Structure 1
Amino acid sequence: MLTITLYFFIIIVAIQFSYYLFVFGKFAFAKTQKSTPKRIPISVIVCAKNEAENVARFIPLLAQQDYPDYEIILIDDASSDNTLEIFEEFEKQYSNIRLVKVQNNEAFWGNKKYALTLGIKAAKKDYLLFMDADCYPATKDWITTMSAQFTMHKTIVLGYGAYEKKANSFLNKIIRFETMLTAVQYFSWAKTGHPYMGIGRNLAYKKEEFYNVKGFISHMKIRSGDDDLFINQVAKSKNTAICFSPESFTYSQPKTTFKGWFTQKRRHVSTANFYKSFDKVQLALFYVSQLLFIILPIILLAFQYQWILVLSLIGFRYLFSWIILGFSAGKLKEKDVMYWFPIIEIVLIFTQLNIFITNIFSKPVHWK
């Protein structure tokens, strides 16, 4: 039995090696992006529900973008705070801001996709750039850098939505590492020709992509997934580009409690159940290989079975994964989280296991 366990462990290390080198390596070793500004007309779309404090801080940053032809579509999704009033003041202040007011609809109660659909229909430009209400662009060149990736054939651009750094917070490092790892995965798979998701905090696509599939209609009843489910449906190797220049990043304020972050991750994980079969399999295989990489060597070392070989395999796995993720973290300006890599990885593996189990017995709460 121990011999079989050892062989199984070797297979797991081989699977991990394949993921890191042949998939994640596509992004880790990618050259620095160089792009020529396109200056194409852009509609920036921001959907907010009860985000008064955030929009008051961040919308002015959008209005200060150094870009010649863009409009900002502000969508108020039936907020109960003073988000709408703040939006109305911005509409008066900035000539390129237009407001979409969404009333509660019985058929689409609390559905962000319904609100976004109204905003997209109101947009006058053919190219759409999305950001969440609790986000802000890293630079005044955010629109310029993201839109530069559009070409005649590349009509979808996947960006990076980072989280702010909080000093002396281990939870913050966990959140940023998990966000970085997720980005490495969807950037890398996009570079292999299998794009499978994007994030609404930083995402762009041509309006025709939305209308070609009748918008969110195929998954309108699923509360989440206005970003990743939509991209999973429409993205292909020929029409998808990635953007990882630091000027294109957006930043959000991270959760400050484990409970808040855990609830957020429950929503994200539940949406992945509706991905295409190949994408669900590759994500599941990677996670299972991570989990077994922790469990199997514990069993082997407990019985002191081939312990030199087991320790060598552990060291080899951490060497190549640390190198690949280290290069990736450098591209995404997240190098500091790599000092905690082994510990954070273990925390994430068992947190995700907890999420899987919890989601079986109760449904996560979505857009309120």
Structure 2
Amino acid sequence: MNSLLIALVRALRSHCWLRLLGCAFILSSLGNGLTQVMVFGQLLRWNASPGTLTFAYMLATLPGFIGSVWGERLCRKMSPLRILILTEVFGMVALVFPLYGLLSHHIPALLVIQSAEALFSGMSYPALTLLFKRGLSAEELPAATAMETLIFSAQVLLGTGAGVLLFNVVSPLCILLLDALSFAASAILLLTTRKKFRVRDAQTMAADFPAHLPLHWKHYSPLQKRSILLLPALAAVGSPAMALLPALVQQIRPEETTGLALPLLFARSLGQLFGPLLLSADKLRQFSTSNRRILLCLVLFLGGYFLLSPLSAWPAVSLALIFSAHLASNVVFALGTFGVLQNFTSRQVATASALAWRGQVMVAGLATGAAGLLAESIGATGALYSISLASLTGVVILLWRYRT
């Protein structure tokens, strides 16, 4: 089977700039994951409330709305690689906030870094999508989907994995230092990537962004609209469960919250990585238009989280449930990112990806905020069932509306 992993290996062998870009983002994602573990681990150590834990997750997504607006506009004025370099530099500077939070026992300062990382991720997403669209042929777009999966999974896979191992071994300040070094190394690699990519970038800049022809939602075809809406649909179902995971563990296993929550985050990361890479590259277009397959994946995702509480007495089973849940959910993520790359031209793709990102962020923020409020009153488990089932119903209606 021609899987996404095989397609990615082929593209990496053909493009030096893609190899450099992948290394840069894997390093950056490693640092981001370390910071995420440090923030949530420290909040659990300080016995933060379920509402605070959920709010921390919301801050890790909501500012991406503003970031995607900036990123979309910047893509019309400068090289996407320059935008990516700027986000790495800004990310390193933003580490002063968690540094202050640790030294002063200041929870809001710890939460600021969540917002900063979301802002810079929102800026980088349209630039990264445009870079793939410019640099890869139509036949290589499955490789771009695999690379995006690898980049965004590396944050939780490598970063969370290293964070789980290091959190109780080294001080949080050492974790922040590793994060800063990863940002610096990533920026250097991106500078090298820019030199390799400069010729093609200069040739395609003018063609990609003519002066007129503004893009509007009403001008998109039903297939294009559906492609943009897949990521927000995934956020509606997935964000409440992901945000409530630390609070769920706090509720069902209060005596060993940190010891179980961090391994569950790592199991989530493994599922996010391996699910999409097992997809067939030749069938991506077919799968991306199949409502039955998408809904099956979302139901499997919720099933893993719904069974977490009754089966929590067996830690190995809990890890398997979360792994399987995100194995399914990130198949939907891969189909959504591929749909945007496949169904939009180079002139449209930055705007389309920014729209998808903003929709994802907005929906995630609303769903997560509602989950956090309900968790304070009826508990994390009740909030999970209520919000997730309502979101799944909305997604069913959405997919039926834009069926192909």
Same fold (TM over 0.5): no
* TM-score (ref. length: structure 1): 0.25
More strand by share: 1
More helix by share: 2
* TM-score (ref. length: structure 2): 0.24
